[in-house]
Structure 1
Amino acid sequence: MKARNVNIIAIQERYLDIITKQIKEVLGDTINIHPITVKDLQSDTVKSGDMVVISSSQIKGLVTQLIPNDCPCIVAKRDINYMNTKKLLNLPPGQELLVVNDNKMNAEETVQSLRETIFEHNYVAYTPEDNIPQSINYIVTPGERQLLPRGLTNVIDIGPRLLDISTFEKIVKLLDINYPISQIVKRYFKACVSLSGRNKEEIQSNKDIRNVAQYYFEDIISVSKSMKETVQLAKCYSEDSHAIHIHIEGEPGTGKSMFAQAIHNYSTNAERSFISINCSSSDFNTIEKLLFGSEEGEEISYGLFELAENGTVCIEEIGELPLSIQKQLFHVLEKGKFRRLSGSELHSFHCRVITTSSISCKKLVEKELFRRDLYELLAKYSLNIPALSERKDDLLPLIHNVKKRIKRNDIEFTNEVIEFFKEYNWDNNVKHLYNVITYLAFLNGDHIGIESLPFHLRSNYDQQKFNTVFEANNNVNKIIAEIEKHGFLDENIKILDAFYEGKKERISYGRKALKVYLEKKGLILSEQQLRMRLEVLQDLGLIIVRQGRAGSTISRQGEEFLREFYKTGFNV
């Protein structure tokens, strides 16, 4: 009797799980199955006489060196799961389809499978070295979304390729399993149905369909000192092999997600997956399943830590997680191992984890809403993205960047609008600014004034203007009240006028010269009276009194007071 222990060997754990389930569906009642990844394969892993199924010819040379010579060995053939091809079948004939797989050989094998059955279309195997044909209508991929080229958005994922039926025929023959071919065929199609539709829809709905980081550090506007320093620190983290947990904090709209993607793209694993989940947009049960995966009977659902495969997992708004999930996450990050929900086996993962939060996790710790141990773990490599109000030097470059992106370099903003933008409190930071500039760019005309601003901004501008006038009036009233405590408001105003006119002519006055000038203007004061008036004005910061020949002059605060005094209509 031939051995019925079957070792399945593959490179990727994710793919190994899929074909293991497929073999269980077809032959699980007759054989003992042992899945092994190449990295876990040792010279004593496979026992003498056991059967070995190798997932690809690419690893055959390595595997055969590590298994006993008497082991029957099969190099599996793979085929697409035709249960996942409904979208392809519904396309009009004659479509140009770009086929993307993890390497050229696998892409060509996938093309061959498609041509043999769904022959109505034209298929092109994608290679990164070649230019993408201009006429492509859709991208087709067997579960390799993270590898899709940029710029094409019509994606049809037909799910991972499975072992083809001829592989099962070889296994049955070598193990002398007494099953008729008709039974094998029935079970084979049952397995295809069972494994169809397993394209991680839940995860894809949370992020870009291709699991690709779109932004680079070059996309981040960093003219201001604060942003330059933040970008430089982020680059250091990107290149630091020890920075496997990075935490990013910042107000809403500051660009935390952009920084996370830039860090990924600056790292040595830039070609790997970047998968993101937002903890504020899903219920906690769903988040837990998406993070760690689950096992429900024979059904395996892969979590982010498995899907990332040496790439990056970005957990946005981590502060929203309940303490129970925070506890799980802490142990996973600390040990580098996780267990699927309802599963018993520990799985290792190798990916960078970036977390973000719009709320200070330190403050959440103080309120006992965030675990201290998790915070301390994340705080080792942390970034704080400055708010737009803290990086005003970036405002104009940000505006120019939006104009360039939407191809409206022709529009101009009045100085009044620019000054208002600089003073405005952008509640949603850069995101808010981008939305406003985009809105203004699509208005008729190329000259944008205050009257063109959205209603909520115009209202804010009117309120800001009122507040400025009110504050100025209030300030004038306070100064007048202080002067009137000593009396003679009109005399003090005439003294300030004298200094103001002298400053325009670049003339400063000593006390004697000022007394002579005032007498010419009809104001007669004794030496003592003039000294008292000057002391009051100096105490209020309205004049600058200098000793000797330098003389005295009006201060900037004094000039501002005079302007507002006359603007508000006071008469003396």
Structure 2
Amino acid sequence: MNKVKGRLRVLSIQETYLDIVADQLEDIFGDQIEVLGTTLQELTMETITEGEMVVLSKDILKGITSPFIPESCQVIVAKREVNVAGTREIANVPIGQKILVINDTYEHACEAAESLKQIFYGQEYIAYNPIHAIPDQIDHIVTPGECESVPGQFLNVIDIGPRTLDFNTVLEVSKQLDLLYDQRSLMNRFFKSQITLADRHRFEMTNEQKGQLVMDQVSQYPKAAHLSEQEIDEIGEKIEEHGFLEESLAILAIYEEGKRNFKSFGRVKVKVKLLEKDIRLSDQQLRLRLEVMQELGLVHARQGRGGTKLLERGEEFLHYHMNR
């Protein structure tokens, strides 16, 4: 008889950060616990059940979320650090360089700068404060996955990818849930999760560039033109070559729901909604399906807070199959 998995609930304000943390925890602990992610906007009195462990993305969420968390639930606050697996370019920077660290907020920029200082101590790090002038003679710009926050005139930008959970947070989760890992195994899983997230960020950056090319191609189609039945069949055949047409249609339907309700769904939310349809996909499987659909001009898989966008071709393709 299989042992019932414990449940760990991640609560976050931003869905982008929720995706990162939930994926990292699932990568580390997925064989022993079920990891669920919920944004503050989605939180209701029924969301969290007795006995779940709750990981808060920020300390300030304690007061806001406490009425929604049963007393039997253990609660910890996540701490973040720079993902070393994404810092190879910084390792190649000559000693003594002046590096401006840009994040989505000044507070987060300070945290990232301090984290970098502890790793690459031969550089001078300055946290970017948007209300002050940019310091003179900056050698490099470093951002943890927040290129949208970098002023456009800078070209020497190193994107090290989003910050991840620190090892102490992972260790605390393991201890609080009495998970059977020795510290060496846990450390190895932690490093693996960092490599996975760094690789995913590089993949998404490349995929976003491909997506922009697709968008440029799609924008050249005549506005009044609709997909012909032959084009729809060809798209379906290309997806079916990979063996996931029905899953792709389910994913398109989820993004259409989001578009209709003016919502942007991250991967965690999409996977939850797929589970409601009895479709269980790993993060890698979901990314593959999005990549194929992006190449076919059905979606634009964007990085960061923008999320994945359903394109008109995707809607037409979905509606054709829904109305068959």
Residues 230-280 of structure 1 show CA distances to partners (whole Å, capped at 9, x for unaligned) of xxxxxxxxxxxxxxxxxxxxxxxxxxxxxxxxxxxxxxxxxxxxxx83447
Structure 1 partner of 2:281: none
Mapped to 1, the partners of 2:108 and 2:266 lie a distance apart of: 30
**1:109 partnered with 2:107:** no
Task: Give me the whole-angstrom Cα distance separating, in 2, the residues matched to 1:37 and 1:205.
Answer: 28
2:205 is the alignment partner of 1:201: yes
Return closer, same or farther for 1:339/1:43 CA change in 2, 3 Å cut-off.
closer
Superposed displacement of residue 18, structure 1: 1.6
Question: Which residue identity does 1:120 align to in structure 2?
Answer: G
CA 1:188–1:120 in structure 2 vs 1: closer, same or farther (change >3 Å)? same
Matched, 1:173 2:172: no
The answer for the alignment partner of 1:37 in structure 2 is 39
Is the aligned partner of 1:317 residue 2:317? no
Deviations 1:471-512 (A, max 9, x none): xxxxxxxxxxxxxxxxxxxxxxxxxxxxxxxxxxxxxxxxxx
2:126 maps to which residue?
124
Q: Distance in 1 between matches of 2:121 and 2:306?
A: 39
CA drift at 1:335: 5.8
Q: What is the identity, as a one-letter code, of the residue corresponding to 2:220?
A: E
1:339 Cα offset (Å): 8.4
8 Å contact from structure 1 (residues 338, 346) kept in 2: no
Instruction: Specify which of 136, 146, 165 is matched with residue 138 of structure 2.
Output: 136
Residues in 1 aligned to 2:26 and 2:306: alpha-carbon distance in whole angstroms: 29
| Whole-angstrom CA distance in 1 between matches of 2:132 and 2:46 | 43
Greater RCO structure (CA 8 Å; 6+ sep): 2
Q: Superposition pairs for residues 284-295 of structure 1, below 5 Å? A: none
Conservation of the 8 A alpha-carbon contact between 2:264 and 2:306: no
Closer, same or farther: CA 340–139 of 1 in aligned 2, 3 Å: closer
Secondary structure (helix, strand or coil) at the match of 2:172 reads: helix
Q: State the Cα distance separating 1:161 from its structure 2 match.
A: 0.6
Deviation at 1:352, TM superposition (A): 12
Question: What 5-or-longer segments of structure 2 have no aligned partner?
Answer: 236-248, 275-301, 317-324
Q: How far apart in 2 are the matches of 1:153 and 1:75?
A: 36
The CA RMSD over aligned residues, in Å, is 3.7
Tell me, in whole angstroms, the C-alpha distance in 2 between the residues paired with 1:143 and 1:43.
33
Q: 1:146 offset after TM fit, Å?
A: 0.9
The residue correspondences of 1:51-450 to structure 2 (distance < 5 A) are: 51-197=53-199, 198-199=201-202, 200-205=204-209, 277-279=212-214, 316-319=219-222, 323=227, 324=232, 331=256, 333-334=259-260, 336=262, 346=273
Contact 1:97 1:122 in 2 (8 A): yes
SS in 2 for 1:34: strand
Ranges in structure 1 where 5+ consecutive residues have no aligned partner:
207-275, 283-314, 356-369, 375-572
Contact 2:78 2:165 in 1 (8 A): yes
Please state how far the C-alpha of 1:26 moved relative to its aligned partner.
Answer: 1.1
Do the aligned partners of 1:102 and 1:144 also contact (CA within 8 Å) in 2? Answer: yes
Distance verdict in 2 for CA 1:124–1:204, change over 3 Å: farther
Please state if 1:21 is matched with 2:33: no
TM-aligned CA deviation for residue 189 of structure 1:
0.8
Q: Cα distance 1:205–1:191, how it changes in 2: closer, same or farther (>3 A)? A: same
Shift, 1:331, TM fit: 4.7
By how many angstroms is 1:149 displaced? Answer: 2.1
Aligned equivalents of 1:158, 1:78: Cα separation in 2: 14
